[in-house]
């Protein structure tokens, strides 16, 4: 198992070098309103069907807050410059990825549609905060009463 987690990239004229890691793994446990614990994992290593699966990009620790008329998403992205962060938003999701030495990737799906053009982001001390407004809910139309002739 460990041998498969060691990467052997080519260097120069057919030579090889062994690169072990880096491996990032973390988890948090929350107790939901129904009393059931919820485990959230992050990092670049995940349990696989037979052995762990290692990805090139790291999934950052992420908190999503539903604050009524908007969402606030907070991600830990240490070791990245502001210019290396790419953020894309659609009506249903937010995708954050980075370029450079440390590669992060996270797609956040929202329960309610958002207005992508209202997204605002701040990055300070390795923490990215994105705030985006929700779309207004359309009032449910009441049915029209129909007379029976």
| Chain segment 6-48, per-residue pLDDT in tens | 555 545 555 565 555 677 888 888 888 899 998 888 888 887 8
Over residues 67-115, the pLDDT tens digits come to: 989 999 999 999 999 999 999 999 999 999 999 888 999 999 999 999 9
- Evaluate if pTM is beyond 0.85: no
| CB distance 44 to 56 below 8 Å | yes
Structural domains of the chain ordered from first start: 1-56 (no CATH), 60-135 (2.60.40.790)
| 3-state secondary structure at position 125 | coil
Q: Residues 76, 19, 24, CA angle at the centre, nearest 5°? A: 25
- Residue 114 CA to residue 125 CA, distance in Å, equals 27
Residue pair 63/42 in contact (Cβ under 8 Å)? The answer is no
Token pair belonging to 7: 């990467």
């Amino acid at each position: 198992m460990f041998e498969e987690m060691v990467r052997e990239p080519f260097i120069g004229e057919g030579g090889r070098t062994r690169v072990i890691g880096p491996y990032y793994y973390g988890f948090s446990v929350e107790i939901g309103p129904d009393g059931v614990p919820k485990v959230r994992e992050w990092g670049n290593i995940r349990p696989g069907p037979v052995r762990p699966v290692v990805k090139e990009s790291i999934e950052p620790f992420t908190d999503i807050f539903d604050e009524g008329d908007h969402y606030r998403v907070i991600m830990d992205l240490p070791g990245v410059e502001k210019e290396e962060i790419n953020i894309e938003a659609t009506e249903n999701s937010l995708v954050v990825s980075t370029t450079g030495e440390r590669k992060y990737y996270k797609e956040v799906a929202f329960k309610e549609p958002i207005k992508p053009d209202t997204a605002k982001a701040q990055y300070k001390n390795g923490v990215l905060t994105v705030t985006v407004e929700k779309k207004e809910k359309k009032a449910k139309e009441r049915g029209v009463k129909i007379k029976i002739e």
